[in-house]
């Protein structure tokens, strides 16, 4: 159950609350409203340093306790700091076993974080995302204490931003629920059912699902070859959002949806193999985007295409050395069955080019372990066919606190992916290194001359404990707010 986030004005009366939280930068002493008083010592000890928290019992006024939260130097203040601070507040309230709290954003703060809209949005996102906990697999879920959070801000613009932030935080949590679902609770068919459920509940979103027969008819040999070793059939999920008026353009987003990746015949080692339930995080991001589009809308026609499959070893599984024909006719020598993400994405890219013909397409995939080595858990790897698309994605990432780092993709790297036997091979020679670029280089010919970007989210989709708003272990919902911001700002 997500928290009930109420949005109010700082001029509204302050009702009784167990906790009143106030944010402040270094050197600032915010005014407490409605006669709330705390000991002088608490003010003395609170320096406003980044991540500093000072809890004090209130001696007067409608709040039982006050939490002062530091934001660091005023010149470093941005939306991400507010997002993280809001997440810290709700986590503290939960740790104190409180059922409600108030979070106030003073007028000066709302202005200095870009705009009042941006401040309201970031604080609401932080509060919603920071209180996320995955409990679906518990026979007796531990009851959550914090039920209600009142977010108080100075203006109508702040409130509008907060409404938007609440919807985006909710979409992020929706994606995280999908990521965290164990593979036996979320098969490719169940992922397709989730997409259909989303479309059924929405006026503007439609969903079409292709099963194996439909995929055979289209010649989706690569996607079919990956699911061949599993008794679960694969699916291609196609979501469409249509705006009320004339669409400003057509955008397509493609998600890798491996509901489990054991590696196939090129079997993975046992350690951490359980984490490969997260190999559908690209798909979760795309579904989360449509959750947000349903709630908030946008001016573009947006397509979401998900290639959903398992990758398991079996008597019928694809073998190293097998050659498979893709949807666009290119033949591929499979030298490592664990490099399966690029295979399912290749057919999805062809599908989008043929069926949608978008202005541009962006794929998201937990594609390579190498990107975790290169960038860790805070930056997703970015490959783009144009500097314009690259810069637009980096800027959107900066605004939502989901950072992207451009990595190289050059023509000589595409040569690495040529096969002696077939047209292409699915891995490069180990002596080349640059495993993440090789993955992108394999995809590039399938994107053809369509403007295209590839996001490798293997490091950021889970394991990012440093970001307060992630709120614990498991999926981060990375990509949802990034894609929505990108679509809206275009």
Query: Binds 457, which of ligand BES, Zn ion, Mn ion, none (CB < 5 to 8 A, cut-off by type)?
Result: none
Using CA atoms, how far apart are residues 296 and 484, in angstroms rounded to an integer? 9
Q: What phi and psi values does residue 362 have, to the nearest 5 degrees?
A: -130, 125
Q: Which residue is nearest to Mn ion, using beta carbons?
A: 338
Cβ neighbors of 93 (< 8 A, separation 6 or more) are 19, 21, 67, 100, 101, 145, 146, 149
Angle of helix 435-447 relative to helix 341-355, nearest 10 degrees, comes to 20
CB of 362 to ligand BES, least distance (A): 19
Out of 177, 232, 261, 301, point to the residue binding Zn ion (CB under 5 A).
Answer: 261
For residue 136, indicate whether it is catalytic: no
Q: Which two tokens stand for residue 180?
A: 């965290």
Out of 232, 338, 456, 485, point to the residue binding Mn ion (CB under 5 A).
Answer: 338
**Residues facing residue 484 across a β-bridge:** none
333 binds Mn ion (CB under 5 A): no
> 81-115 in b/e burial notation, b at 16+ Cβ within 10 A?
bbbbbbbbbbbbbbeeebebbbbbbbeebbebbbe
Dihedral, CA of residue 353, residue 283, residue 299 and residue 172, to nearest 10:
-170
- Residues 408, 396: contact at Cβ < 8 Å? no
Out of 33, 341, 401, 477, point to the residue binding ligand BES (CB under 6 A).
Answer: 341
Candidates 50, 248, 268, 490; catalytic one: 268
- Residues 457, 379: contact at Cβ < 8 Å? no
* Residue window 239-278: x/- pattern of binding to Mn ion, with contact defined by CB under 5 A: ----------------------x-----------------
177 binds Zn ion (CB under 5 A): no
419 binds ligand BES (CB under 6 A): no
Query: From residue 97, how far is each of 5, 89, 101 by CA, in Å?
Result: 17, 12, 11
> 247-280 in b/e burial notation, b at 16+ Cβ within 10 A?
eeebbbbbbbbbbbbbbbbbebeeeeeeebbbbb
Measured from the Cβ of residue 166, the count of other Cβ atoms closer than 10 Å reads 24
* Residue window 340-379: x/- pattern of binding to Zn ion, with contact defined by CB under 5 A: -x--------------------------------------
CB of 403 to Mn ion, least distance (A): 24
Stretch that binds Zn ion, among 209-217, 250-258, 262-270, 447-455 (CB under 5 A): 250-258
- Near ligand BES in 177-206, by CB under 6 A: none
Cβ neighbors of 462 (< 8 A, separation 6 or more) are 179, 275, 278, 281, 473, 474, 475, 476
Stretch that binds Zn ion, among 141-149, 180-188, 271-279, 431-439 (CB under 5 A): 271-279
For residue 342, indicate whether it is catalytic: yes
Stretch that binds ligand BES, among 93-101, 138-146, 216-224, 337-345 (CB under 6 A): 337-345
Stretch that binds ligand BES, among 10-18, 56-64, 75-83, 368-376 (CB under 6 A): 368-376
Q: What phi and psi values does residue 254 have, to the nearest 5 degrees?
A: -125, 130
Cβ neighbors of 40 (< 8 A, separation 6 or more) are none
CB of 263 to Mn ion, least distance (A): 5
3-state secondary structure of 23: strand
Q: Which is nearer to Mn ion, 102 or 262 (CB)?
A: 262
* Residue window 239-278: x/- pattern of binding to ligand BES, with contact defined by CB under 6 A: ----------------------x-----------------
Q: Which is nearer to Zn ion, 122 or 175 (CB)?
A: 175
Out of 250, 336, 419, 488, point to the residue binding ligand BES (CB under 6 A).
Answer: 336
Using CA atoms, how far apart are residues 110 and 55, in angstroms rounded to an integer? 23
Candidates 65, 83, 152, 342; catalytic one: 342
Q: Which long-range contacts (CB under 8 A, 24 or more apart) does 144-147 make?
A: 144/1, 144/94, 145/93, 145/94, 145/96, 145/97, 145/98, 145/99, 146/3, 146/90, 146/93, 146/94, 146/98, 146/99, 146/100, 146/101, 147/3, 147/4, 147/99, 147/100
Query: Binds 155, which of ligand BES, Mn ion, Zn ion, none (CB < 5 to 8 A, cut-off by type)?
Result: none
Q: Which is nearer to ligand BES, 235 or 300 (CB)?
A: 235
Q: Which two tokens stand for residue 191?
A: 């992922």
366 binds ligand BES (CB under 6 A): yes
- Near ligand BES in 448-467, by CB under 6 A: 458
CB of 257 to ligand BES, least distance (A): 11
279 binds Zn ion (CB under 5 A): yes
- Under the rule (CB under 5 A), what is the footprint of Zn ion? 258, 261, 279, 341
- Under the rule (CB under 5 A), what is the footprint of Mn ion? 261, 338, 340
- Under the rule (CB under 6 A), what is the footprint of ligand BES? 261, 279, 336, 338-341, 366-370, 372, 427, 435, 458
What positions carry a catalytic annotation? 268, 342
């Amino acid at each position: 159950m997500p928290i009930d986030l109420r949005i109010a004005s700082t001029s509204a009366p302050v009702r009784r609350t167990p906790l009143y939280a106030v944010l402040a930068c270094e050197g600032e002493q915010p005014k407490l409203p409605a006669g709330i008083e705390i000991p002088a010592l608490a003010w003395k000890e609170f320096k406003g340093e980044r991540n500093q928290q000072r809890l004090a019992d209130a001696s007067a006024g409608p709040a039982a306790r006050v939490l002062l939260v530091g934001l660091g130097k005023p010149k470093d203040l941005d939306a991400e700091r507010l997002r993280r601070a809001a997440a810290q507040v709700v986590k503290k309230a939960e740790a104190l076993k409180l059922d409600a709290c108030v979070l106030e954003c003073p007028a000066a703060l709302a202005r200095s974080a870009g705009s009042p809209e941006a401040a309201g949005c970031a604080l609401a996102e932080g509060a919603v995302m920071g209180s996320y906990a995955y409990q679906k697999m518990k026979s007796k879920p531990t009851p959550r204490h914090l039920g209600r959070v009142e977010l108080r801000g100075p203006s109508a613009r702040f409130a509008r931003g907060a409404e938007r932030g609440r919807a985006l935080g909710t979409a992020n949590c929706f994606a995280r629920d999908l990521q965290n679902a164990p593979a036996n609770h979320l098969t490719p068919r169940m992922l397709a059912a989730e997409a259909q459920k989303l479309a059924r509940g929405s006026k503007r979103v439609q969903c079409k699902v292709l099963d194996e027969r439909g995929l055979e008819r289209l010649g989706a040999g690569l996607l079919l070859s990956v699911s061949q070793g599993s008794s679960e059939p694969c699916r291609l999920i196609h979501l469409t959002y249509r705006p009320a008026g004339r669409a400003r353009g057509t955008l397509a987003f493609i998600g890798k949806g491996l509901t489990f990746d054991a590696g196939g015949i090129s079997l993975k080692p046992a350690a951490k193999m359980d984490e490969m339930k997260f190999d559908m995080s690209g798909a979760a991001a795309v579904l989360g985007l449509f959750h947000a589009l349903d709630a908030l809308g946008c001016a573009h026609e947006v397509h979401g295409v998900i290639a959903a499959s398992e990758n398991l070893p079996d008597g019928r599984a694809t073998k190293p050395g097998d050659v498979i024909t893709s949807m666009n006719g290119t033949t591929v020598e499979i030298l490592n069955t664990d490099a399966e993400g690029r295979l399912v994405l290749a057919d999805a890219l062809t599908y989008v080019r043929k069926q949608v013909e978008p202005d541009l397409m962006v794929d998201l995939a937990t594609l390579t372990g190498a990107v975790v080595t290169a960038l860790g858990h805070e930056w997703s790897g970015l490959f783009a066919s144009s500097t314009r698309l690259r810069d637009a994605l980096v800027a959107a990432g900066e605004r939502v606190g989901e950072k992207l780092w451009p990595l190289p993709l050059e023509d000589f790297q595409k040569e690495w992916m040529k096969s002696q036997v077939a047209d292409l091979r699915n891995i490069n020679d180990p002596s080349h290194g640059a495993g993440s670029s090789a993955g992108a280089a394999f995809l590039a010919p399938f994107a053809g001359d369509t403007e295209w970007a590839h996001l490798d989210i293997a490091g950021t989709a889970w394991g990012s404990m440093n970001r307060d708003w992630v709120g614990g272990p498991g999926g981060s919902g990375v990509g949802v707010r990034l894609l929505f911001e990108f679509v809206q700002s275009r």
